[in-house]
Amino acid sequence: MLLCVTANHKTAPFDLLERLSRTPEDLAGSLSDASRGAVVLATCNRFEAYVDVDDDASDDAVARVLGAVSARSGIPTPDLEGASTVHRGPRVVEHLFAVASGLESVVSGEGEIAGQVRRALSSARRHGTTSPELERLFQRASETQRKVKNDTALGRAGRSLVRLALELADSRVADWSAARVLLVGTGSYAAVTLATLRERGAQDISVHSPSGRGAAFAAKHGIRALPAAEYARAAAHASIVITCTSAEDVLDAAILRTGRGPSLALVESTSGCPVPGHGSAAQLIVDLGMPRNVSPDVAELEGVSLLDLETIRLHAPLEELQATDAARTIVREAAATFHEMGARESVTPSVVALRAHIFDLLDSEIDRARRRGDDDGRVEQALRHLAGVLLHTPTSRAHDLAAQGRGAEFTAAVDALYGLAPADPARVSSDESPDAASA
C-alpha cells in the first residue's frame, strides 16, 4: 500500500513548515528500513513522506513516519499530528499527481514544484530508498505534470512565487529600471528571480552569496558580485533586497544599521530612486528563503517594508477555475489509469501461469499430432486457435476482476482449478506483459 504523510501550507503553520524544510536528506533511509521504500519531498511550503508499506501495516507506518520526522526536526510528535494529513492507497496517487502539477501550491500552477518532485525521486534513488511502486508513482506524476502543462492554461494562469512576489512589489516600485536591486543567493531560485527582475526592466542588479559563489554566478549572468565587506552597505543602500538562499539569518536590523551608518538620511540616488532613511518606506525587502533568510526585526526599521513567503501566500490570487478544472480532470484520469495498470499487473503473474500451463499442454498435443502424421500443419493451426479462444475469456475476466479490486479471486481460482501458483516476477517481466497476456 502507498502511504503519504503531508504537512503543507493548508494544514500547518508557516514556522513549522520552515523547521521541516531543514529535515536531513537521509530521512528517507530511516523510513525505508521498516518498509519497502520511501521518498521524501520537502519544499518551502510542504513536507511529504511517501512510503510503500504492507497493507496491514499502514497505521504503524504513520506512527513511524511521525516519530522519525519528530526525531530529526525536533518538533514534538503531537504538533506534527495536528499539522499533518494522511493519505492512503488510491488517494496518494491523485494527491501526488495534483502536487506535481502545481494544483496544491500556494500559487496554483507554479512551475518550481515539478522539478522538486523529480529531485525528490532522484535523491531517493541515490540513497537506495525507492521501491518499484514508488518509482512508477513518481514517474507517472511527472508525466501527468507535463500533460497538464501542455494541455491546459494552468501554467499560464498560475504564477511562480517569485513572479507573484514581484507583482506585489509593483505598487512600491515606481520604475524598475531605476531601482537598485541586491540579490542574495545563487541557486536555481536566484536564477529564476534574476530572469523575472529583468523581465520587469530592472538593470542595476548585484549579487551576494553567503556561500562564496557570487563571483561565478555574477560572471555567468552578467551582473556585479559583492564581496562580504561591501554587503552591509549595499544592503542598506539598495532599493530592493531579494533573498533566496538556503542560508539562515543573512539579513537583520543590525546589518542594515551598520550599512546605513550613523547619519544616513533619505536621499535621492543618482538614478532618481530613493534610498532608505527616515520618514518613508523607501526600501523593500523580499524574503523568498526557506528557512527564513531575513529576521523579522528589519520591518521595525523606519523606511523598510518586509515581504516574506507567509505574506505572499496570503495574497495569492484566486485560481482561474476553468484551467484548474481542466487540470483536475487530467489528474483524475491519470490516477485512474495508474490504478488500472497496477490492477492489471497484480493479476499478470497468474495469467502468465495459466497461459504457460495451457501452452505446455498445447505443445504436447501438437507433438502428438505430428507423430501421427499431421504434416500439413492443419491440426496444429486448429489447436493453436482453440487455445487462444479458450484463454481469451479467463484473461479478460482476470483484468475485469483486477479493475474491481478482486484480482485475488482470479489468483485463487487458478490455484483451485489447476493447482498453479503465480508465475515468478522475473519470468513475467522478461517473457510476458499485460498486453501480451490478452492476446
Same-domain status, 109 and 124:
yes
Q: What is the mean pLDDT of residues 274-290?
A: 66
Same-domain status, 113 and 75:
yes
Assign residue 82 the CATH number of its domain.
3.30.460.30
Q: State yes or no: is 273 an active-site residue.
A: no
Same-domain status, 307 and 197:
yes
pLDDT of residue 428: 55
**Residue 73 domain-assigned?**
yes
- Evaluate if pTM is beyond 0.95: no
**Residue 75 domain-assigned?**
yes
pLDDT of residue 381: 87
Same-domain status, 140 and 9:
yes
**Which residues, listed in sequence order, are joined to residue 88 by a DSSP beta bridge?**
3
**Which residues, listed in sequence order, are joined to residue 251 by a DSSP beta bridge?**
294
Domain boundary among 122, 157, 192: 157
pLDDT of residue 431: 45
User: Which residue spans within 321-423 are E strands per DSSP?
Assistant: none
Tell which residue, 173, 297, 186, 304, has the closest CA to residue 247.
186
Q: In whole angstroms, give the CA distance from residue 253 to residue 236.
A: 10
Same-domain status, 55 and 194:
no
Same-domain status, 24 and 114:
yes
Q: In whole angstroms, give the CA distance from residue 427 to residue 328.
A: 37
269-298 burial by CB neighbour count: b if 16+ within 10 A, else e?
A: eeeebbbbbeeeebbbbbbbbbbbbbbeeb
Catalytic residue among 4, 44, 244, 273: 44
H helical segments located in 23-171? 27-32, 58-73, 77-83, 90-100, 112-126, 132-151, 154-157, 161-169
Same-domain status, 219 and 270:
yes
CA distances from 108 to 6, 144, 154, 288, 321 (A): 18, 16, 7, 17, 10
Assign residue 214 the CATH number of its domain.
3.40.50.720
Q: Are 138 and 39 in contact (CB under 8 A)?
A: yes
Q: What is the mean pLDDT of residues 201-208?
A: 95
Domain that holds residue 395: 334-437
Q: What is the mean pLDDT of residues 399-410?
A: 79
**Residue 20 domain-assigned?**
yes
Q: In whole angstroms, give the CA distance from residue 225 to residue 185.
A: 11
Span 10-62, pLDDT tens digits: 888 888 888 888 877 778 888 887 788 999 998 877 999 999 988 777 788 89
CA distances from 243 to 165, 247, 261 (A): 12, 10, 22
Indicate the number of domains in the chain.
3
**Residue 61 domain-assigned?**
yes
Same-domain status, 279 and 352:
no
Confidence of residue 258 (pLDDT cuts 50, 70, 90): very high
Domain boundary among 115, 136, 157: 157
**Residue 326 domain-assigned?**
no
Handedness of CA 421, 424, 425, 430 (dihedral sign): negative
- pLDDT value at 75 more than 70: yes
Span 359-404, pLDDT tens digits: 899 989 888 888 887 667 788 888 889 988 989 998 888 878 877 7
**Residue 320 domain-assigned?**
no
pLDDT of residue 425: 56
Q: In whole angstroms, give the CA distance from residue 180 to residue 161.
A: 21
Same-domain status, 119 and 260:
no
Left, alpha or beta for 222 (phi > 0: left; psi -120 to 50: alpha)? left
Same-domain status, 356 and 231:
no
Same-domain status, 141 and 263:
no
Domain boundary among 134, 157, 180: 157
**Residue 378 domain-assigned?**
yes
Confidence of residue 279 (pLDDT cuts 50, 70, 90): very low
**Residue 329 domain-assigned?**
no
pLDDT of residue 33: 77
Same-domain status, 87 and 150:
yes
